[in-house]
Every structure is written in C-alpha cells, then in structure tokens.
Copies of this chain bind each other. A is one copy, B any other.
Amino acid sequence: MSMFTIGEFSRIARVSPRQLRHYEALGFFAPEQIDPETGYRFYSALQLPRLNRILALKELGLTLAQIQHLLEEEISAEELHGMLTLRKAQIEQTIQGEFARIQTIEARLRQIERHDTPTDDVVLKAIPAQTVLSLRQVVPSLEAGFALMAQVYRSVPRRGGIGHFAVVLHSDSFETEHMDVEMGFLLTQDRAAPITLADGQTMTVRTVPAVATMATLVCVGFANHDAGYGTLGTWIEQHHWQLAGPSWEVFIEPFHPAKLDEAVIEIQIPITKHEHVRDMGHAPILS
C-alpha cells in the first residue's frame, strides 16, 4: 500500500492541502500516518472514500459541524432525513430571496435604461403588531382632514407611552373627497386610556396586526408627500408587487400643523406577491 504526501493526495482528490489540514484540525479526517521527525503527513488511497463522502455531504450544503456529527454518531436514517428536509426548505427560502433580488435589480436596470429618476430610497420592512390611540372618520375634504388632524393633535397630552403621530388612509389613496381616515398616535406602552375630544368624539385604543411586507419611503416636507406616493406606486408596479391594505403615514418629526413643510413623514404601504408562480420575465436561468 503506497502512501501519498499531502500535495499528491490533494491533487488526486482535487482539494487544497489547507483544506485537508483544516479537516484534520477539526478532527474528522486525519492522515493515516504522520512522520514523527518531520511532521510530514501521509495519506493512503483507501482514505479517498471517506474524504469523498465528506465532500458529497458538503455539496448538500451541510456545515462541517453537521458532517462531523454525521460521521461520528452513526446517525439514524430518520435523523438524516430530517436534516436534509430542513436544508431543502432553507435552500428554497434562499432561492425565493434571490429571485426577489433579481427582480429588484431588473427594475433598477430598466430605470437606468430609461433615464428615470431613481427610487433609491424605497425600502421593504416587516412591521410588527402595534397599538394605536386613534379616531376613524370619513372627512368630506382635504381641508376638513387637516382640521381634524390639528384637533386630534392638540387634544392628546404628550405623556409617556405616546409615540409618533400617524394617519391611516382606509379609502383609496387617490380619493380626495369623502376620505375614510384614521388618525392618532402610536403607543410605545400598552397602558393608555381612551380620550374624548372637545366635540364629543372618542379616540380609542386598538391593536394593529403585524404586516409582513411594507414598502416604505421617507418624505421631507408635507408638500413632497404626493410625489412620495407616486414614487412608491411606480416602485410597487415595477417590482411586480400588489397593494395589500391601507397605507400609513407616520410623522417621524413631531407633527405640527403650522410647520407642515418641516414634517418628515414615512409612508408605509402594505404589499404582497401575487398568488401564482409568475413568469420571471428574464433570460432562462437554467439552460
């Protein structure tokens, strides 16, 4: 039985010498002999099947720790089945993510090609469930809406637990008459009581469910607010998402009715992917 130096063996197995030393350091693939004088490692051809087994498992995307476990513990078929099923699910996740990324990139490429203004600052976020102290009403006009905002804003004492001022547009955002709006404050603590306004209307506390995906955009100045909706709408269309609920306007910079041009507003629009597998619309990936 002839022996190979680490260089020869690495050329036969097509792995790097460093890799062989690494697996040895981790303790699951050592040379058959080590010269006590020089420290030279010697491997035999009979070690190839084990090394290949390791490489095959690595190809499945298992970590070296998992492989080590698997080699040492003589794992049961079910356990292996479980590990692989898990890995498969993980990979499917990543593939989904990569597809989404490709779509975003393609949308950006098309933008550049058409010399459109970039939509650099649209960001997807997951919003957890939150509680709000709010009032919901149908307002006849934009002016009436502003008046209500000012009234609500004045009526709530700035105490602990009161967070950002926010408006929810329950009717289509391009409606400007008879808008169904909700307005109030995000709560940072759960302990808040209803508040009755001067005209007798009552702001109540409710929990808003989490939203998995929101397309968000920050606008500086209330005047840029419409442009913000435009940008978000274009972005959503170009990336093949669909609207999935009422949009939010969160006033990051404390809302003040007299200083609307200093407002900093984050617009949040819930979106979702279509239900069916779509034509990805790009050159064949698997050719």
Does any Cβ of B come within 8 Å of A95's Cβ?
yes
A80 touches which of B53, B56, B112, B123 (Cβ 8 Å): B112
State the copy count for this chain: 2
* A125–B287 CB distance below 8 A: no
Contact with B along A77-121 (1 / 0, CB 8 A): 100110011011001101110110110111011001101000011
| Contacting residues, chain B, for A1 (C-beta < 8 A) | 253, 262
| Contacting residues, chain B, for A87 (C-beta < 8 A) | 105
Does any Cβ of B come within 8 Å of A275's Cβ?
yes
Whole-angstrom distance between the alpha carbons of A284 and B95 in the complex?
A: 12
The range of chain A's interface size is 35 or more
**Minimum C-beta distance from A8 to chain B (A):** 10
* B120–A286 CB distance below 8 A: no
| Contacting residues, chain B, for A203 (C-beta < 8 A) | none
What are 30 A-B pairs with beta-carbon distances under 8 A? A12-B252, A45-B218, A45-B253, A46-B264, A48-B266, A52-B120, A52-B121, A52-B122, A52-B216, A52-B217, A56-B121, A57-B120, A59-B123, A61-B101, A61-B105, A77-B112, A77-B115, A81-B112, A88-B105, A88-B106, A91-B98, A92-B102, A94-B98, A95-B98, A95-B102, A96-B286, A98-B98, A99-B286, A275-B287, A277-B285
Which 7 A-B residue pairings sit nearest by Cβ, starting from the closest?
A45-B264, A52-B121, A48-B218, A45-B252, A45-B253, A53-B120, A277-B286
